[in-house]
Amino acid sequence: MYDSFATDKLIDLWLTEDIGACDLTVHTMIEKGETGSFYMNAREPMLIAGVDVAARVFSRYDPSLHVDVRVNDGDKVAKGAILIAVSGSARSVLTAERTALNIMQRLCGIANHTARYVEAIAGTKARLIDSRKTTPGLRVLEKHAVTCGGGLNHRLGLDNGVMIKDNHIAVCGSIAAAVARARRQLPVLTKLEVECDRLDQVREALQAGVDVIMLDNMSVPDMREAVAIVNGRTKVEASGGINLETIRPIAETGVDYISTSKITQSAPAVDIGLDDAV
């Protein structure tokens, strides 16, 4: 889910960036009173994400526009499906068109790419989760798109949980010391995760009573051994070197979660267009 108030502020920034002082093309070619009807349509099969955000771009720019959303986030649609119908001032529709298409293509692209990874681990116990490697300013929307594709969200930000990594451990001296320091001030409902790249660290983290152990860039045999060491006593996450070719063998080690930045950083945009309804 995303906050509409925060999203409106983003939309204002996007429109300001694209329009500048004015849309010179429509102001020189289209009369102020001219109207039009247009369809935003899928030019390839796709999963939907961010349709309400795209629709909001039009109504935010010009509240007088009539915007009809025809699909829902999470829907699978065929090529040619109408996603949004928008009518009213032709100037307004054409000025806001690119901004609406850009965000829709980006978010649907993430949902579609996420779905490919989810399908690759179908039948295993592993669940796909995202990372904080998102486009600055778009994190909440991109993480929403991940959920539309069947993935789960990791931390939304640094304030959502404690993640102890190698540099934290180096400062504190050991995993046990780092966990002990964090536990002294950790809110009672907040989880604590430790990143491990060796099996001896897995044992130390388990002894320290952490909520999640992340296996960072471990080999598949080492991951399998780590899962056996943990033996269900805490959750295990695999991370590092994850792609569509490697994810299935990793899932089959028995880990609970697999996190990857590929679903947000490497997702290709889908093909969506805005065409005259006539």
Model-level pTM? Answer: 0.94
Asked if 127 and 226 sit in the same domain, the reply is: yes
Asked if 103 and 166 sit in the same domain, the reply is: no
- 127 is an active site residue: no
- Say if residues 242 and 7 touch (Cβ distance below 8 Å): no
- Say if residues 93 and 29 touch (Cβ distance below 8 Å): no
User: What pLDDT does 3 receive?
Assistant: 77
Asked if 236 and 139 sit in the same domain, the reply is: yes
- In sequence order, the 6+-apart residues with CB closer than 8 A to the CB of 259 are 128, 129, 130, 131, 154, 214, 237, 238, 239, 242
Asked if 124 and 241 sit in the same domain, the reply is: yes
Give the domain CATH number at 211. Answer: 3.20.20.70
User: What pLDDT does 1 receive?
Assistant: 60
Asked if 49 and 90 sit in the same domain, the reply is: yes
Asked if 90 and 150 sit in the same domain, the reply is: no
- Mean pLDDT for each consecutive 10-residue tract of the chain (278 residues)? 84 96 93 95 97 97 97 97 97 97 98 98 97 94 97 92 91 92 90 95 95 96 97 96 95 97 96 90
- 133 is an active site residue: yes
- 276 is an active site residue: no
Asked if 183 and 195 sit in the same domain, the reply is: yes
Asked if 66 and 133 sit in the same domain, the reply is: no
DSSP-derived secondary structure letter, 141: H
Residue type, 216: D
Asked if 129 and 233 sit in the same domain, the reply is: yes
Catalytic residue among 43, 133, 191, 235, which? 133
Give the domain CATH number at 16. Answer: 3.90.1170.20
Residue 87, classed as helix, strand or coil, is strand
Strands of 272-276's sheet, edge to edge? 66-69, 82-89, 35-42, 272-276
- Write out the residue range of the structural domain in which residue 54 sits: 4-114+267-276
Q: Could you tell me the CA-to-CA distances from 98 to 29, 52, 57, 222, 272 in Å, in that order?
A: 18, 15, 10, 48, 11
Nearest to 67 by CA among 75, 58, 77, 78: 58
Asked if 153 and 102 sit in the same domain, the reply is: no
Catalytic residue among 165, 191, 224, 248, which? 165
Dist CA 57 CA 84 (whole Å)? 12
User: What pLDDT does 278 receive?
Assistant: 67
Nearest to 106 by CA among 274, 266, 269: 269
User: What pLDDT does 221 receive?
Assistant: 97
Asked if 132 and 97 sit in the same domain, the reply is: no
- 165 is an active site residue: yes
Asked if 160 and 240 sit in the same domain, the reply is: yes
Q: What's the domain count of the chain? A: 2
Catalytic residue among 43, 62, 70, 98, which? 98
- Say if residues 41 and 6 touch (Cβ distance below 8 Å): no
Catalytic residue among 23, 73, 195, 204, which? 195
- Say if residues 63 and 7 touch (Cβ distance below 8 Å): no
Catalytic residue among 193, 216, 237, 256, which? 216
